[in-house]
Structure formats: structure tokens, C-alpha cells
Amino acid sequence: MKQTTWLNTAIRRRSVLALAVSGLAGCGGGAAGGGFLAGLPGTGGTGLFAQGTIIGFGSVIVNGIRFDDTAASVQIDGLSASAQDLRLGMVADVQGLRGADLTLGVANAIEVWSIAQGLVSQVQSGQFKVAGMLVQADAATVFDGISSVSALANGLRVAVWGLESGTDGSRWTATRVALVTATPMVCTGIVTATGTLNGFALSGQSVSSLRAGQLVRVQGVLSSSGTSLQVDSFKLLGLQGSSLPQGEVEIEGLVTALLSGSRFMLGSVEVDASGASLATSYKALAIGQRIEVEGIWQGGVLKAGSLGVESEEKLDEAEIEAKIEQFTSLANFVVRGQRCNASSATISKGTVSDLKVGVKVKLHGTKAGDVLMVTTLEFSS
């Protein structure tokens, strides 16, 4: 697969804070925090675990790495799915192999987990509450079924994918928000010593193995009083407390705390940035920054090899290469489940009259609520 100029200059463009430290010079790309990591590849060979927001398709693109997903097993919220079911803005965990070109890879397994499902409340100023969690939207948030946070209303039911923006697991930045029909309640947060999660008392036999301090996604039924959650199933998230082998890890997330000794929290993951080449980078960090960390998971801490701040103006960009699924007009068509508007796009290798269902196109554009505003459209063979 040929890496496009747009991917080199746009998706992966960011302010690089540091080069890889000795022994990690081969790390590249990035990923996103707030999801489940399992079966990390060993340090030998080209094994890679990347976690990040999906920003494109053709092969699935996670934070600038284009993973060939042809033979990948895919799960969405624990259920078997196909790569065609993945959508922009979902936070994906990708386990696979890195190519000779660090921007290319092959995915063996892809997992996606929503972090919240439930009824919306307290909508205001670009944020809302759902399942006891405070969710903030920004220019990079993809919407499905609504155009923006302001279009939400109390009582609507949504599913949310996102990045942890607080160390207690109760605050998140949404990468995707979708209207859904009736579903079990899903809540993600840090379990407390009293057995609560984001203010809900947890009950059910399945919670007996949960421990205080764990980042966990629970699914269940809310009591009529709205104060307790009968848990049907749960999923441990994050890196802490897991019996994971050492391996190369790439995570993208939000800085949630600055610690002593050049350490900081990325979501609820502790990162050690004490490498000599990272000293200046650590001093430049600020709470709330969205960054990429590449390194090795050792002893319950992510040993950083490089840090990178993501360029805010590029976070809302996306690329899709796929067949048109629905076509009404140049300003209204659907590719990979994403509504697109190419009325102002530069078109190449074909004309508007060639656009129809089944035609394969390559689109570059910017996310605008529930629409991808296409800047370039290329007919693809």
C-alpha cells in the first residue's frame, strides 16, 4: 500500500517533543488512551500494540498508522464484528505487526469499546452527562444522528467513545457520540473502596472480583432510584494491574496529572518520562494536553521513549477510501457509514456524473459534527 502525501503531512503532523531514547528508536506512530490492552507483543521482532481514535479507512487508520485489516479479528463491545462495522471516532485497540515503513502495519486483532451508554442530562456549553460521567465534546468529536452537543436534549439515549480526561474516570473527552436505541446502561470509571463507580453503588455477583482503584467499564441495569447499578458484565480497562508481558506500546491520551520525577498521568496510566532526551519535553507538558506516548510497558509504568503533542488543527481531519453506500447528491452521500458533503471538494480521476452507489472513492476532509466536509475526492480503482 502506498502512503499518501496527505497522510504524511496531515494525519501524522504534530509538534514532536522528543526523539526516541536509546533502545526505542524504532517506535513510531501513536495511539489513544482509555481502552483495554491485552496480549501485548514481546519486545523482540516487530510486534506492536497501538491504541487510538480511528481517523480513516481504506485500511483502518489509527493515529497515522495505516493498518491492513483484511485478516484482523474485530470485536465491538465484546461482540464479533467486521472491519466494515468500524466507524470514525471510535477508540480502537489494535494488536499487530509494524511494517518497514513505520506508518504502515498489519492488524491481527482490533477491539473497540464504548465508554458510556445511557440517557443524556445536563446539556450545556459543549458538554453533557451520561451514566454519571461528564462528557466534553470538541472540534474533533464525530457525531452520529445529531449535529452537535447543542442538538442533544435530556432523555436522549447515546453511546460514547472517548479519552479519559480526569484521573478518577468520571470525566471524558468524546471522540464519537451516537444516538442509539434502548440498550443496557454502560458506565466507566474508577472503582472506589466502598464499591461505587461514578456515584453508583455496584451490585451483582460479577462485581465480587473488582478492586478499588481499577478502571472498569460496567454494563447493567440502573435501579429505579437511580442510585445503584446491577452489573451484568464488566471489562477492566487501562494498563494498571494487568499481568501483561513487556512490549512496545503506543498510546494517545490526555494529560491528567503532573507527578514528580518527570512522571505524569495519561488518563489513568502512569508514564515515566525521565529519559534524558525527554527532560525538556516533560517540562513543556500541561494538564489537558492531548499527546502521544511511545514506549515500553514495564512494572506497571509506561517507560516513554518519545512524546508528541498533537496539532489541534489536524485533530478534526479524516480520510476514507471505500465504496459509496448511499448517494443523494454531491452534498449528501454516505461512505463507510459516514455522511459526506463534497460540494466544495476538488475532484480528480472522474466527474460528478460518475458518482453513484458502488463507486469507490478516496476522500480527504474535516469532521463537522455528523458530516465529513470533503476537501478532495478522488475516484479509486
Question: Would you kindly state where each structural domain of the chain is located, as residue ranges?
Answer: 5-113+245-313, 116-236, 317-379
Residue 175 identity (one-letter amino acid): T
Question: What topology is assigned to 5-113+245-313 in CATH?
Answer: OB fold (Dihydrolipoamide Acetyltransferase, E2P) (2.40.50)
Q: What is the CATH number of domain 317-379?
A: 2.40.50.320
User: Which pLDDT value is given to residue 167?
Assistant: 83
The domains spanning 5-113+245-313 and 317-379 adopt the same CATH topology: yes
Q: What amino acid occupies position 355?
A: L
φ and ψ of 325, to 5 deg: -95, -35
Task: Give residue 361's pLDDT.
Answer: 98
What lies within 8 Å, CB to CB, of 376 at 6+ separation is 6, 345, 346, 347, 348, 363, 364, 365
Amino acid in the structure at residue 33: G
pLDDT at 240: 54
Q: What whole-number distance in Å separates Cα of residue 130 and Cα of residue 240?
A: 25
Of 136, 156, 135, 132, which is closest to residue 146 (Cα–Cα)? 156
pTM of the model: 0.86
**What pLDDT score was predicted for residue 318?**
95
The answer to whether residues 105 and 159 touch, using CB atoms and an 8 Å cutoff, is: no
**Which segments of the chain have a pLDDT < 70?**
1-46, 239-247, 276, 279, 313
The whole-angstrom separation of Cα 95 and Cα 62 is: 11
pLDDT of residue 38: 33
Res 173: pLDDT: 97
Model pLDDT, residue 9:
31
Task: Note the pLDDT of residue 276.
Answer: 59
Q: Can you give the pLDDT at residue 371?
A: 97
Alpha helices in the chain (DSSP H): 5-6, 279-283
